[in-house]
Structure 1
């Protein structure tokens, strides 16, 4: 029996983690092409922080609640849905609404739970795997042995990027804050983890021939340092701005090295694009669990502690994903 109301994390306004409080909302109804999922767990991600601060509004028609990925049980299906049925267990990318007991999701953005992965841990898969796959691998013919530099290797995006890069035969370099974090990154598959407090990633990567691909969440002074670390014809992908999005830079290396400097946000991409990525993940990536890929869950908190989860996320001391459970 599906209730008419549900618990949900309802922000009292924009600002710090303290604005996140548990409240009540109507249970959404699945529209055409959607499924209604009873949430087992949801992932906490960087864009949630930005939306909480008032700088990342949901797309038109999407839920105003936070939460971009979930796992759980399909409890209702909208018209036109043939792939999923009531009782199926899925993990999924959402346009919002994951911080709740129930969420309506585009059926084509749902995937099966990979082999060897618990339903709870699966809640932390989709946002990072969709992001890394769509930016690094989708539409690009990458050769084995290419040098792949991943900044922030101990976090959610970084943990995923290291594993996917290694699984696809890339030579993965990564940066992290401590010796323990570096050891953790190397266990995930990085061939060289660089403690950025003690070592210069530019020097180390250039000694290895330079990076063919750079995935960056830092920005600030890392932008020009990435230009220096890149080899000719490299691709640099900007996904976040932990050191700030505004800086003065010298663009000459972009011309001289023929660099491609790009970035993206996943939430605003067309629904059809996300459906395409979901299908590619299901076919090419999910079969790599559990031999080449593993889930990395840092903490699982009750949804009533969403504020604490955001504080943990913003401390940048976590490894892998932070999850919430209703």
Structure 2
């Protein structure tokens, strides 16, 4: 099979199309023929050498795919050859075939393309765990999302709105703010507006119940100001850095909860649990089109460097996807 190799850690020039043997699934895994794969920020960091994969994970980039099951391991009961699935994989997504834990697969929603399906796993697993399991977001509450035009952000807006949550989201341009508004959130142009002041104005000085932060840096202190009493703040990335000087007194006085997580290092059991809850609580919203992934751009397999450039530019709105069916050189 063909796959995207990282010759050595560094820039996009280190990405190269190579060939290797098709991997074989273990007893609890399935082999998926990949038709589309999502591009995510951890892929960029791994290519740069800043986010090495776990020891037991594939060194190949790619954490989410949409495709067709080709073979099932001996213990797999739910799935069969020919089933259309999307899957959260432990690496290996930038390839024509990938093995995935059977419990981390979900059915492709009704009328979804493989490109749309590949846009789901990483974002939905991340958001369900952080917003609903960790931050305990509930109907009637309010949510502030930093990075509202990203793949995570556009999904978080729709997911929260579907659960009757008031949503605010930050973005850096008028175009991105327009996209956020179209999804049902109050947009905050952070280059022109102070998000703390906007939140206080819209919540009668009370603040928001939950904050989802991918920025870090000086936002950490400002989040304390924007949060309501007993608010919950979840960090899932640190685009502005993970080190800053912070006064924790507001955390104590407002009884705030500050938490965070990464998805990739969690156990197979934890990921399986997230998958079950997603299918029970969210998949119907995808099947009836209440939520649909926002696709920024689609690239062929050979255009993977351009896809990474698009991600690094921070100009995208929604998900960036590799469509392997667009490749002129794909083996049958």
Number of the residue aligned with 1:299 = 297
Q: Work out which of the residue numbers 210, 213, 218 in structure 2 matches 1:216.
A: 213
Q: Which residue of 2 aligns with 1:279?
A: 276
Matched residue, 1:3 = none
2:9 and 2:46 mapped to 1: Cα distance?
8
* Cα distance between partner residues in 1 of 2:242 and 2:270: 26
Match of 2:176 among 177, 181, 185: 181
Deviations 1:21-66 (A, max 9, x none): 1111211001111000000100000111111111222222211000
Show the counterpart of 1:309.
307
Corresponding residue for 1:202? Answer: 196
TM-score normalised over the length of structure 1: 0.96
Contact 1:218–1:241, Cα closer than 8 Å, also in 2: yes
1:129 and 2:124 are equivalent in the alignment: yes
Contact 1:117 1:295 in 2 (8 A): no
Question: Are 1:33 and 2:31 an aligned pair?
Answer: no
- Kindly indicate whether residue 232 of structure 2 is the aligned counterpart of residue 232 of structure 1: no
Q: Which moved more, 1:281-290 or 1:265-274?
A: 281-290
| Alpha carbons 2:135, 2:210 under 8 Å: kept | no
Matches within 5 A, 1:1-326: 6-138=1-133, 141-190=136-185, 192-207=186-201, 208=203, 209-289=206-286, 290-326=288-324
Distance across 2 between alignment mates of 1:115 and 1:243: 38
Q: Offset at 1:232?
A: 0.8
- 3-state DSSP class of the match of 1:169? coil
1:142 CA drift (Å): 3.5
Offset, 1:225: 0.8
SS for the counterpart of 1:26 is coil
Give the 4+ runs in structure 1 shifted more than 3 A: 139-143
RMSD, aligned α-carbons: 1.1
- Conserved 8 A contact 1:220-1:247: yes
Gaps of 5+ in 2: 325-332
Distance in 2 between residues matched to 1:282 and 1:300, nearest whole Å: 26
For normalisation by structure 2, the TM-score amounts to 0.94
SS in 1 for 2:147: coil
After TM superposition, give the deviation of residue 143 of structure 1 in Å: 3.3
- Superposition deviation, residue 140 in structure 1: 5.8
Q: Identify the range of structure 1 (298-307 vs 104-113) with the bigger mean alpha-carbon deviation.
A: 298-307
- Report the Cα distance in structure 1 between the residues aligned to 2:150 and 2:234, rounded to whole angstroms: 17
Whether the 8 Å contact between 1:68 and 1:93 is mirrored in structure 2 is: yes
1:206/1:230 contact within 8 Å kept = no
